[in-house]
Amino acid sequence: MTRAVVATGFGGPEMLAVVNADPGVMGPYDVLVQVRAAGVNPADWKAYSGAWTTDPTVLPMRLGSEAAGVVLMHGREVSGVQVGDEVIVYPAHGAYAEQILVPADAVLPKPASMSWEKAAGLMVAGVTAVHALTATGVGAGDTVLVHGASGGVGAMLVQLAHCRGARVVGTASPANHEYLTDLGATPVAYGPGLTERVRTLGTITAAIDAAGTTEALETSVALAPHGRIATLAGHALGAKLGIQLLGGGEGSDPGTEIRMAARHKLLRLWEAGKIDVRVGATYRLTEARRAHRAGIDGHVTGKIVLLP
């Protein structure tokens, strides 16, 4: 048995509990990992919020889709993975746990110089950003508007856009402008007058929304070519506006192939020093409620990570 975080009902972080759970029966192509850190992402709290489903049969719901840890065991058909290897796990199901059982193809080697916290926070934000930049065709010479640029995905969008030779204008609260400047973006405050403030910074050739606000989407539509606008968070309004919907949810492009292919590329970029994972806060597994509340309230800049 292993300790794991589950949602016992639909609602807010008060629905989270730590329980004893069975990691599962190992198959020939599976790997058992001792989790050292697990990444926290907005999809984790949206999953039990009631926004996507209220089907009681999915409860109790295991949470977490990315982690980093040490290989404890592996199935007889697994090659290239040894007991004791330090690995990154993505995609995973139920990564908020002390141990997780995953298919071998979800395991990647962790760079020796990468901390557990950074390793656990790289993949979801990284592959999501790659998907969004690919869908909007961002490349050299572009100026891309990124809404929610100081969040986990936003920060990765800024860095990866720069890797592609693009300039980034990023929206955030004034308190996070120094952070965005450090990442390499031109910061702009959201709020009334956003469209005009962005307009003064030059022509926007693509826009990616990681904030999900009406303001973000309306500003994007006003400034960027319609075919080069995507939202990761504002799917309801995005559908009405006819822009690209990316990620989970009805009518959205999950980008599965793009995201899976991006994993090794992200590791190479990290090892080359071209991207970094900004860890904003860490919590113990038993503090999952606090971690989710901090994420929902927007009180953390960068990634939130759980430590079993």
Q: Which residues, at least 6 apart from 12, have a Cβ–Cβ distance to it below 8 Å?
A: 45, 49, 292, 293, 296
pLDDT at residue number 292? 98
3-state SS, residue 158 = helix
pTM: 0.96
Confidence of residue 275 (pLDDT cuts 50, 70, 90): very high
Dihedral in degrees, nearest 10, Cα atoms 262, 148, 292, 264: 10
Measure the CA–CA gap between 41 and 57, rounded to whole angstroms. Answer: 23
Q: What is the mean pLDDT of residues 217-229?
A: 98
DSSP-assigned states of every residue in 124-146: HHHHHHHHHHHHTT--TT-EEEE
Scanning the chain, the segments in alpha helix (DSSP H) are 42-47, 116-135, 152-163, 177-183, 194-199, 214-223, 235-241, 256-271, 288-297
pLDDT value of residue 25: 96
Nearest to 304 by CA among 153, 180, 99, 184: 153
- Give yes or no for a contact between 133 and 156, defined as CB atoms under 8 angstroms apart: no
Q: What is the DSSP letter of 122?
A: H
Question: What are the structural domains, with CATH classification, of the chain?
Answer: 2-110+278-307 (3.90.180.10), 124-245 (3.40.50.720)
Per residue in 114-161, pLDDT (tens digit) is 999 999 999 999 999 999 999 999 999 999 999 999 989 999 999 999
Half-sphere exposure of 95 (CA within 13 A, CB side): 29
- pLDDT given at position 116: 98
Structure tokens at 297: 């309230």
> What pLDDT score does 200 carry?
98
